[in-house]
Chains A and B, each alone.
Chain A
Amino acid sequence: MPLQPLASLSTPEQGLFSPEELRSLMEKELSRSRRYGYEMVLISIGVDRIESLGDIYGHDSKSHVIEEVVRLLTASTRSCDYLGCLMGDKILALFPHTNEVGAKSISKRLLAASRELEFSADGPQVSVTVTVGIAEPDKDRDLETLITRATTACRTGQEEGGDCWRVWEAPAPAAEQSAMDPTKMDPTSMSALMDEMLKAKMRKIFESMGEEFPDLAGRDSEVLALALKKMTSERHNQDEKLEVLERRIARLSHNLGLTDEQLQRAMEMGVIDTGIASITDSTQGLSDDGADHQLKKDMMSAIYEANKEILHETENKQNK
């Protein structure tokens, strides 16, 4: 089934992407994410029982409903955050730099907003609901596979009654593999993975952020799993992972000037670009051990000596 551009995404000045351009853009985005290793998700939004809607109220009603759902999608996110298109009756939206947690957050907002939609049809009020399928790309970042996964997840949700979000899952994963994947762990399994001291410290970090925002405290296991998932470098032991995570959180909350609410959203959306220094594992942190301390001292000394020379030059100039 061909991809059709979402009209509402484009301004008249920009013009619409053709289906070929849209597919090409999506392929490029997938290729880029493969290259730089950043995350992305595709969500497939289906209006529940849309065929029945069309049968009862006519074909135009389907288009109108879909337009409204697209408007909700645009209102819930920034248009620059995703590439969107129609495929049949489904709305597909590709979100670069977004992970499953972020996609769930978007989905929840969409579901809540769609429940508020009401249409009138010469008398009776008609409500609609939507189902959202979420899928992450496979290791090859194949677009067709991604689309199939997202639409399958959406269809599964609709078959289960609709008005929900579903994440695509590979059929019958091995119990052992699931147990090792932190994103699929429940809090009980998570605590088995971490020792008590690490858990206590992490809880303290998230509690300090969650005091005013209880929602974050309730989601900390998901965010924690996400953060730990990113730390794939084998050189990190548990303490180092904690230090990196704490530094990252500190940077996000302080250096970026984010409020706690924005921080929560940023972490949920996974909008941290892994191509940005200080967030990636390749950041070299100066620890407190002797070698790094000495390096810093030497550098400060060199800067001081250079400025002594400048000051000397300034005094010479004034004395002339």
Chain B
Amino acid sequence: MDSSQKQPNHRSSDNAHLELISDNESDKAGILYVGIDLGTSRTAIAASNGVRATVASVVGYAKDVVGQKLFGRSTLFGDEAIEKRMSLDFHRPLEKGVLKGSGGVEGNDGDVRAARDLINEIIRRARPKKDELIYAVIGAPAEASMKSKTAILEVAKESCDSVMICSEPFSVAYGQEMLEDVLVIDIGAGTVDLCRMHGTMPEDADQITLETAGDFVDAEFASAITAKYPDARFSKEMLKAVKERYGSVASEMEPCIAEFPINGKPTELDLTEELSSACRSIVPPIVKGLRELISTFDPEFQDRLKDRVLLAGGGSQIKGLDSAIEREMHEQLGSGTVLRIEEPLYGGATGALKIAHDMPEEYWERLK
């Protein structure tokens, strides 16, 4: 028997980085409010003109005139810079959520320049009008030092008319309008930020920053692969791509089969167990941090806090992570409910935008 039919329409996936949201976010003419999540791995921006964009937090400079001619410009950003990194002076200006060269993280002038250019680029992608003032709120890790915040402010001031720094997990909570009895877990590449919200501005005691984040998972993954396949060769980007595609802590996860060269020959490797184990490695520190924040909270409201845990950040996209954290919380703390935010990549940026929009005009003027 043969068959024939009209082909059904297939919906294609949307890979665009630029997305239009509301067109009435700002009713104040001449000012573009932006919220920026300056992440170790990815930088995201949400603007009051409705534009949102994201770019990998990498900058590459053409090494010479030949390179400039080849690329058509002297500076590349994001995925384009990653692709051509062998021909570029390549920089990842952020580490553990802060600018290199500040906050105890080593860096050089090139990193500072790269950070400046990265912020400039992400604002450019928000398509500000020529005459618009740019008022920006930038998220920083919960326990970022004064030195780190100062460094961010210095590089951002060149692209913005007025800029403020705000705690990243707080921005996430503010964006979700969850300001009371909420625990935020913001999982990035460099840091995991935990923040306890209780109807006032969070203080230092309400916030914890962990370094067992996305990069930590990558390192664990790399170690495990090397232990099992000593001759396998892979780059950080290759690992990241595999993690983003297959990353899971679920007991029934999709098999992770990746192709890495072994002695020059592309070879399919089953990395399921290694990846699962690496992804699971961030759960205990997170629950330990949650325990600390919960146990030091008013005992009358601890249960309520446990039932409102908000999971955000790029790392929250690891499949089954919310269930895994919940399970650990049930075992160690008696109960727990974890909610994921709708858009993990933009949670910080849209929250920062909301803060920017709600900030009284006079405060912006005074900080110019």
Chain A residues packing against B (C-beta within 8 Å): 13-15, 25, 28, 32, 57, 60-61, 64-65, 68, 72, 75-76, 109, 113, 116-121, 126, 250-251, 254-257, 273, 275-280, 282-286, 295-304, 306-311, 313-314, 317
Contacts and interface: CB of A to CB of B under 8 A. Distances in A.
A275 B200 contact: no
Given A299-B200, A299-B201, 20 more contacts: A13-B255, A57-B1, A68-B5, A119-B2, A120-B4, A251-B342, A276-B339, A276-B341, A277-B176, A278-B341, A282-B339, A295-B199, A300-B360, A302-B201, A303-B166, A303-B359, A304-B164, A307-B164, A307-B367, A310-B150
Interface in B296-347: 308, 310, 322-323, 338-343
Contacts of B363: 300-301, 304
Contacts of B64: none
B109 to A, nearest CB: 16
B8 A75 contact: yes
A14 B254 contact: yes
Interface stretch (B17-25, B86-94, B277-285): B17-25
Contact of A278 (B10, B177, B200): B177
B193 to A, nearest CB: 16
B301 to A, nearest CB: 14
Nearest to A261: B11
A280 B341 CA distance: 11
A117 B358 CA distance: 57
B21 A311 contact: no
A120 B339 CA distance: 52
Contact of B322 (A60, A275, A283, A302): A275
Interface in B117-170: 146, 149-150, 153-154, 164-166
B100 interface: no
Interface string B232-272: 00000000000000000000101101000000000000000
Contacts of A255: 21-22, 342-343, 350
B83 interface: no
Contacts of A250: 22
Interface residues of B, number: 54
5 contacts: A61-B1, A126-B1, A282-B308, A309-B146, A314-B150
Contacts of A285: 177
Contact of B339 (A61, A76, A275, A307): A275
B6 interface: yes
A13 B257 contact: yes
Contacts of A275: 322, 338-340
A276 B150 contact: no
Nearest to A257: B19
A32 B250 CA distance: 13
A273 B52 CA distance: 23
A118 B50 CA distance: 47
Given A308-B367, A314-B150, A300 B340 contact: no
Contacts of A273: 340
A121 B342 contact: no
A283 B176 contact: yes
B177 A120 contact: no
A282 B8 CA distance: 39
A209 to B, nearest CB: 14
B180 interface: yes
Contacts of B255: 13-15
B1 A310 contact: no
Given A254-B21, A304-B164, A277 B179 contact: no
- Secondary structure at chain A's binding surface: helix, strand, loop or mixed? helix
A318 to B, nearest CB: 9
Interface of B: 1-6, 8, 10, 19-22, 50, 52, 146, 149-150, 153-154, 164-166, 174, 176-180, 182, 199-201, 252, 254-255, 257, 308, 310, 322-323, 338-343, 350, 355, 358-360, 363, 366-367
Given A120-B2, A307-B367, A284 B153 contact: no
Nearest to A61: B1
B177 A286 contact: yes
A223 B255 CA distance: 38
B219 to A, nearest CB: 27
A77 B358 CA distance: 41
Contacts of A280: 339
Nearest to B201: A302
B3 A64 contact: yes
Given A13-B255, A118-B3, A286-B177, A113 B20 contact: no
Nearest to A316: B150
B359 A300 contact: yes
B113 to A, nearest CB: 18
A255 B200 CA distance: 26
- 3 closest cross-chain pairs (CB), A and B: A257-B19, A302-B201, A304-B363
A304 B2 CA distance: 72
A310 B165 contact: yes
B3 A304 contact: no
B257 A284 contact: no
Nearest to B250: A28
B3 A75 contact: no
Contacts of B21: 254-255, 257
Contacts of A13: 255, 257
B188 to A, nearest CB: 18
B367 A298 contact: no
A78 B257 CA distance: 21
B302 to A, nearest CB: 17
A147 to B, nearest CB: 21
Contacts of A118: 3-5
B342 A277 contact: yes
A305 B20 CA distance: 33
Contacts of A313: 146, 150
A107 to B, nearest CB: 14
A143 to B, nearest CB: 16
Contacts of A283: 176-178
